[in-house]
Amino acid sequence: MGGIKRPGAVLAVWSACFAGMGISGWLGRGGLALSLLGDWLGYLLPLLLVFHLTRREGFWSSAGVRRRGLLPGLTWLFALFLLFSILLGIYGETAARLVGKDPGEEVFERMKEQFPPWYFAYFALASFFPVALTEEVVFRGFILRELLPLGVARAVLLSSALHSLSHLWYLDLGPSGLTMFGSAFLFFVWMGAVYAKTGNLVPTILMHGLNNASLSLRFFWGEEATSALSTLLLFLGWFSLLHLLLSRGVRRGRPPRARVERRVSRAEGIRRMMERLDTFRREGKISEEEWRRLKEVYRERLRELEEEGG
C-alpha cells in the first residue's frame, strides 16, 4: 500500500469488520434475540475502532458527516443513480440468467421464512443504524479517505472491493450468492464516487439505508411500493442531472477577475502553510497529532475554495 499514510490502520479496521462478523455469527446460533445482539456488537466493533483512530481530528468531520456539501452530495447521488441503476439492472439480469434465479429474490424469500413480521419493522430502522451508518463511516469515511493518495479511481475501486468481500454471508446462498458480490461492488462504487466527489457522507448513508430498507418496504406494501420508490429516484435523478448541466453552463460565464484572483491567492497561501507544516513535522517542531489536525483544517478550506470556484 505504497503512498498510504496509515496502511496498518486500514487493515486493522477491515479486520475488525471480520471480527465483528465472527461475533455476530457465533451469537446468532443462540436464537433471534442473540442474533440481533450479535449484529449490533459486530457493527459497533469497527465503528468504535474508527472513532478511536479519528478522535483527535474529529470523528464526524473527518468522516464527512456534516451539513456543508450536503446539497451537492445529494445532487450527485441522484444524478449517478441514472447510470448505476442501468449497470445494476444489466448485471442483475445477467446474473439471474446464469444461475437460474434472482439472488435478491432468494434473500427476500428466505427472510420471510425465517423472521416474524415485526423483524421487518426493526430491519427498516436497523438498515440506517447501525448498518448504513457504520458501513459508510468505515468504508467511505475512513478506508476510502485513507486510500485517496493512491488516486481517486483506485481508492474507490479498492475500498469497494474490500467492502464487497466483507459480505461473507453471501456464500450461504451458494452459486447465486456469488453473483451478489458483483452487484454489491457496483453499488459501493456508486457510493464511493459520490463521496469522493463531494466529501459528504450523509447522502451515501441515506441511500445505503434506503436500499436495504426497501426489503421491508416490499414486505409491508408489496412490489408496487418499491416500484414507486424507483420511479421517485428516477425523477430525482433526471432533475439532478439537469441541475448539474445548467449549473455548469452558468459557471462557464467568467466571474469577476478580482474575485478569481483573490480565491487563487488564498489557495496558494493555504498550500504554502501546508508545506510549512510538513517542514515543522520533519524538524520535530510539531507533534504528529497536531500536524494531522491542522492539515485536515487546511484541506477543508481548500475544498471550500474549490466549491466556490465551481
Domain ranges of the chain: 69-251, 257-309
Give 307's pLDDT tier (boundaries 50, 70, 90).
low
Q: How far apart are CA 183 and CA 176, in angstroms?
A: 12
pLDDT in tens, 210-231: 999 999 999 999 999 999 999 9
The answer to whether 83 and 196 are in contact (CB under 8 A) is: no
Quick check: 200 and 70 in contact, CB under 8 A? yes
Mean pLDDT of 191-215: 96
Sign of CA dihedral 40, 189, 140, 201: negative
What average pLDDT does range 58-81 have in this prediction? Answer: 92
Q: Is the pLDDT of residue 259 over 60?
A: no
SS3 state at 283: coil
User: What pLDDT does residue 99 have?
Assistant: 86
pLDDT for 262 equals 65
Residue listed under C-alpha cell 466483507: 166
More confident residue, 106 or 201: 201
CA distance to 66, 108, 162, 184, per residue, from 159 (Å): 21, 27, 5, 12
| pLDDT (0 to 100) of residue 250 | 56
Q: Is the pLDDT of residue 257 over 60?
A: no
Over range 177-195, report the average pLDDT.
95
C-alpha cell at 108: 427476500
Q: Give the Cα separation of 293 and 137 in Å (integer).
A: 19
Residue 154 CB neighbours (<10 A): 13
Average pLDDT, the chain: 88
- 277 pLDDT above the threshold of 80: no
Report pLDDT for 256: 52
Which pLDDT score is estimated for 254? 47
Rounded Cα–Cα distance for residues 258 and 263 (Å): 9
Comparing 188 with 106, the larger pLDDT belongs to 188
240-271 burial code (b ≥16 CB/10 A, e <16): bbeeeeeeeeeeeeeeeeeeeeeeeeebeebe
**What pLDDT, in 10s, does the model give residues 8-29?**
999 999 999 999 999 998 998 8
Positive or negative torsion for Cα 99, 105, 111, 112: negative
Mean per-residue pLDDT, 228-243: 96
Tens digit of each residue's pLDDT (9 = 90 or more) over 36-67: 999 999 999 999 999 999 988 889 988 999 88
pLDDT bracket for residue 258 (50, 70, 90): low
The cell for 157 is 475501486
d(CA 50, CA 6): 12
**Among 45-54, 156-165, 293-302, where is mean pLDDT lowest?**
293-302
